[in-house]
Structure 1
Amino acid sequence: MRDFSWRAWRLRFERLWRSSLQLRTVAIAVVLSAIAVGIIGVYMSYSINNYLFDSRLEQALSVSERSNVAAQTRFDAAQQTAGLDLESVMNTASRAALQSATTSAGTYIAILRTPGQSGARLPVDLVSPGLDPDATISTELRNDVEQSDDRRLYWQSIGLELSDGSVAPGIAVGSLLDIPGSGQYELYLVYNLSDTEQVFAFVQTTLWLGLAALVILIGAVTYFVVRLIVAPVRLAAETSQKLAAGQLEVRIPEKGEDVIATLARSFNGMADSLQRQITKLAALSQVQQRFVSDVSHELRTPLTTIRLAGDVLYDQRDTFPAATARTTELLHTQVERFELLLADLLEMSRYDAGAVDMELEPTNLVRLVEDAIDSVRTLAESKGTELRLEAPGGYFEADVDARRIRRILQNLLANAIDHGEGRPIVLYVDSNQTAVAIAVRDYGVGMTSASMSRVFDRFWRADPSRQRSTGGTGLGLAISVEDAALHGGWLEVWSEPGNGSCFRLTLPRVHGVVLTESPLELPPVDEPSKEDTDA
């Protein structure tokens, strides 16, 4: 459950990221600013730390040098005073050394006799309270001081253990002392850098807070700047969507003289031009549709009269001379074709006017295909064409307008019979959970790619000189495409010269479902054998 919630939030964020230019711009600006500020912050923090440490080290070395001189002066003076207690001199020298280091708080002192010298350790080593020289002063530092042949200073960064158990940063500085009559001693001054560390922590905290505030400020500024730019773009997008939806009167407000105002004026000029053209084309289309509809309606009355008179003559054609009888038959045939043409023109005018209604009902498409086959069986037998049905099984019921689907199938079958060269015609029906597909496959003359691109055009024929048996009007496939689209389906064609053609009708099982694939390939793979196609 938690994983599902995380995926839902992730998908929601991805959709928001893809759809929001403002979010992407602000996020990218903040991320890049944070990276740049982070690099600057690290560099400044490193530089400040080095500067504070170097300053404190320089101060410690200067103080240690003065302390060494002060202590050595005390010991040199003691050489000239007879009977002076060296322990007292040691204390005096240590106080002089510490007094020279009064500029540094938290300073410890240790005066240790260099190991390996003959004679007694006199005076004894002196160590400030709270300082453990064995733990604080490393062997490496003592070796450097011992091997020095002058009063050179040596230092080392250390961790200074305090009385409360905590460890503070520190610096240990060592140098040599010569005590008359006692040999070589080592002077170590240990400086506590806690105050420097506190200063650095304060500076670092202030620095990072300032840089974080800078990143937030950059994000806020970017947000407002992008909003000023994106708002007109969003308004233009909304206006264009309204124009696409048919609200041709909407426009973008024009303010100022900047680039956005120029964009608004250009957009509004384009919208004005489109509105004029669309209005003009709509008026022209309406006049054309009305003309076709009016002509079709007006022709029905005289056509009905001609049809009645022609039927009377056709019924009595046996009593007429041969030439008159043949004329009567031609009149009867052409009147029927004229009626079909008027019906198709009226149907196309309804599609053009958007005044088409559907009567949807659950329909078994296999039975509908069987009915369509029965309606053209006589024509197929006259051509010597065998009609086959391949329906392997599945979800064959769909919500369709049975009259329109039957009309599509009859058109496809009639065309297949006319161009099938008497070879078998196979109808395939297959389905899945969302769609039903019907394919009509013939093995006749086929079509070129140029012909396939125009096969659904109105009044277009692949071969006008070809003898047709069905007396088509040239509108059958155009009406079939409109019927398929009305159901939310597809009507597609495949053809090769000499290998026949295949028309595939794909329909959603439930009206309103968007199709994504067809249950049948185009053309279907289970085709008849070569012997059948050559029959």
Structure 2
Amino acid sequence: MTITGVLTLIAILASGTYLQLSVGGDLFNTRKQQVLADSARATNAAQRLLEASDAQDRVGFNALVIAMRSAIRDASSSQMIALQRMPNQSFSSEAPQDSATEGLASGVITQDLVEMVRTGDESQYWQSVTLTNPDGSTSAGIVVGSQLTFPGSAGTYGLYIGYSLADAEQTLTYVQRTLLVTALFLMVLLGLLVWTIVRLVFRPIHVAAETSRRLAAGESDVRMPEQGDEQFDVLSQSFNDMADSLQNRISELAELSQMQQRFVSDVSHELRTPLTTIRLAGDVLYGQREKLDTTAARTVELLHTQVDRFERLLTDLLEISRYDAGSVTLEREPTNLVRIAEETVEGMASLAEAAGSDVRLIAQGGYLDAELDARRVRRVIQNLLGNAIEHGEGKPIIVTVDSNETAVAVSVRDFGVGMTGEATLRVFDRFWRADPSRKRTIGGTGLGLAISLEDASVHNGWLDVWSAPGRGSSFRLTLPRKRDVPIGHSPLPVVPADEIDTDGGGDRR
């Protein structure tokens, strides 16, 4: 509609300008021809009167000028008359004085017109001027000049007759007003027409867009109604067929997903009974390992370790299956993040000491309670700290806690092997390991970071990572203070301060 309106306005302006110029030019030319004919007639009448006169003195010439003005007024339609003696003539005391009526007495007659009348070969010359009306207003006009020869020693005079074009200006103004009203009417009419057509044409498209939006919002049973038009009904039918196909496919995928999740959950539950039996038997053997020979004792120790890992794996699989099924419910309560971090660091102190790592806790903030699921937050910090101990190569580990008006955050920084950019992008994938050949010292299941990411997401929080080969890694968990208040920004940077001060290298996610 905007493009149509702009193009229409340009077309109307162009055509209106052309019509205005054309009408104005025709009016001026027509009026000019009338003026020239009128002036020629009046000049001839005046010259005949002069030729028939025998005036020889000033009194006679003055009477002759009065009679000549009367003849000019009778022979023309103008009352504006000026009489000027041509320059470069010998002085004559009998010659009448220059005179002009009110309309031509204010310097309207230019020197150029006077010179053309004096030296030209034509019988009359004209010039466009601005005339002052009796009421003080101004209007366009034409002054026509011609020569008159007085009898005796009076010499040659220039006769100038002024004609007002006020009537032509009024006509042109009326035409302009008519064109403007017509243009406005056409714009409104065309706008209404285009608006009506656009609504008729785009109404089915708006219906399709609204139906698509509702489908995307999860209303799988919504369909496009028929529009009463053959072409649009074909579109509606095709769209509805596509929606039916998508709904069937989504239903199939949802059913398969539920079956898969149910299978994982059922298998995990079913495995717990034999696992419990194996665990009890293994504990008995593990308690009697000192009475066994070396090979059998080593076998019992391996069995005990793998049963522990198998039990943790079943627990993680059950947790992942709950996330996949969307059945996770948070048990929010006022939680002190600094307290959780302290308890986690103390609980894993022996493991860090065995690995040769010194774990330091820096609590800059986070002492005020936040609405969190303490069990899940503790699990995330345990996973992050366990990874830092395993990959920290015995170097210090820094755990930092801070907060701001909308969020609380904890970061775990190690100075170990680090990861490449490609590894950083996959670090939260299930069962993925950056270095498969690396020995596990803690016995992780490969699901810890994946579950940690889910725990952060279910809180509407963030879990970010920065890492660089040979310079270590930094994981940052950011959680909202209130469940309905979004995080403005994290109180902790994902890139460690020591890396920002150097070159800011590494990869982040």
CA shift, 1:55, in A, is 2.2
The answer (yes or no) to whether the contact 1:45–1:204 under 8 Å persists in 2 is yes
Q: Which moved more, 1:304-313 or 1:500-509?
A: 304-313
The answer (yes or no) to whether the contact 1:395–1:433 under 8 Å persists in 2 is no
Question: Structure 1 regions of 5+ residues with no counterpart?
Answer: 1-25, 531-535
SS at match of 1:438: strand
**Is residue 350 of structure 2 the alignment partner of residue 378 of structure 1?**
yes
Length-normalised TM-score, structure 1 = 0.82
Partner of 1:59: 34
**Is residue 137 of structure 2 the alignment partner of residue 162 of structure 1?**
no
CA shift, 1:410, in A, is 0.6
Question: Structure 2 regions of 5+ residues with no counterpart?
Answer: 503-509
CA shift, 1:64, in A, is 0.8
CA shift, 1:172, in A, is 1.6
CA shift, 1:398, in A, is 3.0
Q: Which moved more, 1:171-180 or 1:154-163?
A: 154-163
Amino acid in structure 2 at the alignment position of 1:178: T
SS at match of 1:348: helix
CA shift, 1:68, in A, is 1.2
Partners of 1:150 and 1:337 lie apart in 2 by 123
The answer (yes or no) to whether the contact 1:175–1:187 under 8 Å persists in 2 is yes
CA shift, 1:121, in A, is 4.4
- Equivalent residue in structure 2 for 1:519, among 482, 491, 507: 491
Partners of 1:142 and 1:522 lie apart in 2 by 88
- Equivalent residue in structure 2 for 1:462, among 419, 434, 451: 434
Partners of 1:133 and 1:383 lie apart in 2 by 114
Partner of 1:338: 310
Amino acid in structure 2 at the alignment position of 1:498: G
Q: Which moved more, 1:63-72 or 1:279-288?
A: 63-72
Instruction: Label 1:435 to 1:180 Cα distance change in 2 as closer, same or farther (>3 A).
Output: same
The answer (yes or no) to whether the contact 1:158–1:171 under 8 Å persists in 2 is yes
**Is residue 328 of structure 2 the alignment partner of residue 356 of structure 1?**
yes
CA shift, 1:492, in A, is 2.1
Deviations 1:29-72 (A, max 9, x none): 43454345334434443443333223212221121112212222
Deviations 1:309-344 (A, max 9, x none): 444444455555665555444443333322222211
The answer (yes or no) to whether the contact 2:426–2:432 under 8 Å persists in 1 is yes
Instruction: Label 1:208 to 1:302 Cα distance change in 2 as closer, same or farther (>3 A).
Output: same
**Is residue 148 of structure 2 the alignment partner of residue 173 of structure 1?**
no
Aligned residues: 496
Partner of 1:153: 124
Instruction: Label 1:373 to 1:271 Cα distance change in 2 as closer, same or farther (>3 A).
Output: same
Partner of 1:119: 92
Partners of 2:359 and 2:97 lie apart in 1 by 125
Partner of 2:413: 441
The answer (yes or no) to whether the contact 2:388–2:414 under 8 Å persists in 1 is yes
Instruction: Label 1:445 to 1:76 Cα distance change in 2 as closer, same or farther (>3 A).
Output: same
**Is residue 290 of structure 2 the alignment partner of residue 290 of structure 1?**
no
Partners of 2:238 and 2:489 lie apart in 1 by 42
Partner of 1:15: none
Length-normalised TM-score, structure 2 = 0.86
- Equivalent residue in structure 2 for 1:76, among 32, 39, 51: 51
**Match runs of 1:50-449 below 5 Å:** 50-78=25-53, 90-102=65-77, 107-114=79-86, 116-121=89-94, 131-135=102-106, 137-140=108-111, 143-144=114-115, 147-148=118-119, 150=121, 152-181=123-152, 182-255=154-227, 256-258=229-231, 263-318=235-290, 325-393=297-365, 397-449=369-421
**Is residue 20 of structure 2 the alignment partner of residue 49 of structure 1?**
no
SS at match of 1:523: coil
The answer (yes or no) to whether the contact 1:396–1:430 under 8 Å persists in 2 is no
Instruction: Label 1:157 to 1:273 Cα distance change in 2 as closer, same or farther (>3 A).
Output: same
Partners of 2:408 and 2:259 lie apart in 1 by 38
Instruction: Label 1:109 to 1:506 Cα distance change in 2 as closer, same or farther (>3 A).
Output: same
Partners of 2:364 and 2:166 lie apart in 1 by 88
SS at match of 1:228: helix
The answer (yes or no) to whether the contact 1:114–1:186 under 8 Å persists in 2 is yes
SS at match of 2:256: helix
Partners of 1:380 and 1:481 lie apart in 2 by 23
Amino acid in structure 2 at the alignment position of 1:135: S
Partners of 1:50 and 1:114 lie apart in 2 by 33
CA shift, 1:432, in A, is 3.1
Partners of 1:340 and 1:283 lie apart in 2 by 28
The answer (yes or no) to whether the contact 1:446–1:501 under 8 Å persists in 2 is yes
Amino acid in structure 2 at the alignment position of 1:293: S
Deviations 1:363-385 (A, max 9, x none): 22222211111121111111111
Partners of 1:413 and 1:59 lie apart in 2 by 106
SS at match of 1:526: helix
The answer (yes or no) to whether the contact 1:145–1:175 under 8 Å persists in 2 is no
Partner of 2:505: none
Partner of 1:11: none
The answer (yes or no) to whether the contact 1:363–1:399 under 8 Å persists in 2 is yes
Instruction: Label 1:154 to 1:528 Cα distance change in 2 as closer, same or farther (>3 A).
Output: closer
Instruction: Label 1:286 to 1:185 Cα distance change in 2 as closer, same or farther (>3 A).
Output: same
Instruction: Label 1:100 to 1:296 Cα distance change in 2 as closer, same or farther (>3 A).
Output: same
Partners of 2:114 and 2:32 lie apart in 1 by 21
Deviations 1:109-161 (A, max 9, x none): 34454465543446676755xx2543154241563266236562122333333
Q: Which moved more, 1:212-221 or 1:30-39?
A: 30-39
The answer (yes or no) to whether the contact 1:441–1:523 under 8 Å persists in 2 is no
CA shift, 1:403, in A, is 0.9
The answer (yes or no) to whether the contact 1:141–1:156 under 8 Å persists in 2 is no
Q: Which moved more, 1:418-427 or 1:260-269?
A: 260-269
Deviations 1:343-363 (A, max 9, x none): 111111111111111122332
CA shift, 1:402, in A, is 1.3
The answer (yes or no) to whether the contact 2:142–2:165 under 8 Å persists in 1 is yes
Instruction: Label 1:404 to 1:186 Cα distance change in 2 as closer, same or farther (>3 A).
Output: same
Instruction: Label 1:519 to 1:263 Cα distance change in 2 as closer, same or farther (>3 A).
Output: farther
Q: Which moved more, 1:87-96 or 1:495-504?
A: 87-96
Instruction: Label 1:432 to 1:237 Cα distance change in 2 as closer, same or farther (>3 A).
Output: same
Partners of 2:247 and 2:54 lie apart in 1 by 114
Partners of 1:250 and 1:58 lie apart in 2 by 77
The answer (yes or no) to whether the contact 2:366–2:401 under 8 Å persists in 1 is no
Partners of 2:143 and 2:499 lie apart in 1 by 96
CA shift, 1:199, in A, is 0.7
Partners of 1:125 and 1:143 lie apart in 2 by 13
Partners of 2:493 and 2:8 lie apart in 1 by 54
Instruction: Label 1:123 to 1:458 Cα distance change in 2 as closer, same or farther (>3 A).
Output: closer
Instruction: Label 1:121 to 1:57 Cα distance change in 2 as closer, same or farther (>3 A).
Output: farther
